[in-house]
Amino acid sequence: MALIACVQIPNLPIAIARRDGMAPLDRPLVLYRVEWQRAVVYAASDDTGLSPGMPLRQARVRCPQATYLLAEPERDRQVIAALAALLEAFSPRVAASERLPDPALVLDLGRMTFSQAIALVARLDRRIRAEIGLLPAIGVASNPLVAQHAARRAGTGVAVLVPLGDEAAFLAPQPIRSLALDAEILGRLDQLGLCTVGDVARLSIDALQAQFGGAGSRLYQLARGIDAAPIPKTIDAPTIRSTRRFAGPLLDRGVLERVIGDLTARLAAQLLAEGWTTGAVALTLVVDDGAPLMLERRLAEPASDAATLTAALFALSRSAVLESGVTAIMVAASDLVPEVAEQRDLFAPAGGSSQRLRDVVGRLHGRFAGSLLRARLADPEALLPERRVRLEPR
């Protein structure tokens, strides 16, 4: 299942100002800018009750106790760029919208299970906190539209994962204005008394097309949480290679396979060291007379272990027809995706069923977060039973 993550830093300019210690944490903060010789609010902390675009004079009257500072949009853009660079370590496809004060960065995580996504989100969150010093809101879903809504709903320092198939149910209670629709369509939906996404999702595509023409089918898809817009590739993921040249041409398959085994072990070690898994392997055999023989195989799922890679490369080498000796062998791992940490402590003994259970628990956790618990003996000496035992979310 391909998953999309959306990372937002809620109220980014205020978060940066707070991070940099430009204003006391316990006081409301307002950032303003001057445009057309008129000072307006650029960003304001939630406790001020002010909104961006409001005249500064009016803001000072409504919230006199706040700290007022001149905004630095360039610094905000630098932080967004740093965040995008950090996210590119997790995916080669990252799209950033610099719409302040809540910019959104969307990244394509590729094919992964829900439990893998949970582990990846935890890593992402830790790195953003450590390297950027800000608390992200992260949404994960099967498409960018739902991932962005999930991030918006998550709030500061929280991640929300929407299981596959639950997109429409997740969007249903959201106001229809949360979808990126033009004002005319929104106005007509309002007149029709359709206030939430769920209200629109209940209508047939014919009814929507009759009302809105071509835009009706787009509206039909958005209301059901369908968004097929791809995220363009922003960087090229590296390809890891390992090569060996021979003094003379070799034709012995046994020797060639031993060399391929050695090269694959080296490749796997490098993948492991750099935290990658590969989705495809390639074998290049440079033959004595003629063009190099290049063979490629896509793996059923991304892997970094030597056994899987060796099996795939051996299969490639056996399919090659060699009429002359080989002078060099190159093995390469491409289509790299970041390795996802496995949860090994709880479900270690079993095989496929434990993987399914991990997925199920991950999915249930997204829906019934407060219901799945882990009991822990906290303080055995405490007099009150509720202090002796602690129930924590699993």
Helix, strand or coil for residue 110? strand
Query: Is residue 394 a contact residue for another protein (CB under 8 A)?
Result: yes
Could you tell me the sign of the dihedral formed by the alpha carbons of 200, 201, 206, 212, in that order?
Answer: positive
Query: Is residue 354 a contact residue for another protein (CB under 8 A)?
Result: yes
Query: Is residue 192 a contact residue for another protein (CB under 8 A)?
Result: no
Contact 1, 64 (CB under 8 A): no
- Taking the complex as a whole, how short is the minimal distance between the CB of residue 121 and another protein, in angstroms? 21
Nearer to another protein, 53 or 349 (CB): 349
Query: Is residue 207 a contact residue for another protein (CB under 8 A)?
Result: no
Query: Is residue 93 a contact residue for another protein (CB under 8 A)?
Result: no
Q: Which residues contact 393 (CB under 8 A, 6 or more apart)?
A: 365, 369, 370, 372, 373, 374
Binding residues among 308-347 for another protein as defined by CB under 8 A: 345-347
Distance CA 140, CA 162 (A): 6
For another protein, which residue of 188, 202, 244, 374 counts as binding (CB under 8 A)?
Answer: 374
Residues binding another protein: number (CB under 8 A): 31
Which span (74-82, 84-92, 237-245, 365-373) binds another protein, by CB under 8 A? 365-373
First to last CA, the chain: 24
Name the residue type at position 180.
A
Distance CA 9, CA 14 (A): 10
Which span (37-45, 147-155, 309-317, 372-380) binds another protein, by CB under 8 A? 372-380
Other Cβ atoms less than 10 A from the Cβ of 123: the count is 15
Which span (13-21, 219-227, 280-288, 383-391) binds another protein, by CB under 8 A? 383-391
Contact 295, 319 (CB under 8 A): yes
Q: Which residues contact 269 (CB under 8 A, 6 or more apart)?
A: 306
Query: Is residue 389 a contact residue for another protein (CB under 8 A)?
Result: yes
Binding site for another protein (CB under 8 A): 345-347, 349-350, 352-354, 356-361, 363-364, 368, 370-377, 380, 385, 388-389, 391, 394
